[in-house]
Amino acid sequence: MRQVIAPPVLDYLARHHPPLEPVLESIRAEGLAAGLPLVDAATARLLRALVVALGAGRVLEIGTAIGYSATCMALALPSDGVLLTMELDADRAATARRNFGRAGVDAKVNVIVGDASRFLHKVAGPFDLIFQDGSKQLYEPLLDRLVDRLRLGGVLVTDNVLWHGEVIEGFVDPPERDPCDTDAIRRYNDRLASDARLFTTFLPLGDGVALSVRV
């Protein structure tokens, strides 16, 4: 995998990000061993920091996988907080539910199994924080629906906006990733950058993270 950030910088930052709860680290290890594309540890920490900073009580996630990022956020939610997370793959969703039980956050987390583009209309906002980490080709088509469900001052976080540098023409030559995904992320980034409802900053963290505040 091509790194956008120089490896010595990554090593330095990793040393300043000590492990979090053992159960969370165990879920991460399980996901990585299964080859799942979980958020990197620094991005998970950013999500947790936002839950705390926003005083979040309602969080929405697209793309649960086995529940690593959701657990990281849910552990910081108040006891009456709610995290709704959507996952297309039923087996992954079942594993995520088990992991939420292991982490003691199952009372706060609700997993919806199915295609987010079909279930989103059943979900009422407002949310304090939304994490978009599902299908790259759905990023742009779902944007308006996610913004509609974000409270003023709430934050939409989107992972993989640098796509290992492939969104930058010629950075990876020849490209290694599905060009449909790469083009979809480029279109999405252009939309975010010009969307007056959002104040967006793109962070070269992990695989690239867009942080968009609803203004």
Ligand X SMILES: C[S@@+](CC[C@H](N)C(=O)[O-])C[C@H]1O[C@@H](n2cnc3c(N)ncnc32)[C@H](O)[C@@H]1O
Binding site for ligand X (CB under 6 A): 37-39, 62-63, 65, 68-69, 86-89, 92, 115-117, 133-135, 138
Q: Whole-number minimum distance, CB 132 to ligand X, in Å?
A: 9
* Comparison of 42 and 152: residue with beta carbon closer to ligand X: 42
Closest separation in Å from C-beta 116 to ligand X: 4
Cα–Cα distance, 181 to 121 (Å, whole number):
24
Considering the complex, what minimum distance in angstroms separates the CB of residue 65 from ligand X?
4
Integer Cα distance of 106 and 50 in angstroms: 20
Minimum distance from CB of 43 to ligand X (Å)?
8
Nearest CB to ligand X, comparing residues 72 and 198:
72
CA angle 117, 118, 124 (to 5 degrees): 85
Strand 209-214 to 127-132 pairing: unpaired
Closest CA to 165 of 11, 6, 8: 6
| Cα dihedral: 138, 139, 140, 146 (round 10) | 110
Which residue of the chain is nearest ligand X when measured via CB?
63
d(CA 101, CA 114) in angstroms, rounded, equals 21
Q: Which is nearer to ligand X, 29 or 215 (CB)?
A: 29
Cβ-based nearer residue to ligand X, 25 or 169:
25
Query: Taking the complex as a whole, how short is the minimal distance between the CB of residue 70 and ligand X, in angstroms?
Result: 7
**CA-CA-CA-CA torsion for 157, 159, 162, 164, nearest 10 degrees?**
160
Closer by beta carbon to ligand X, 74 or else 138? 138
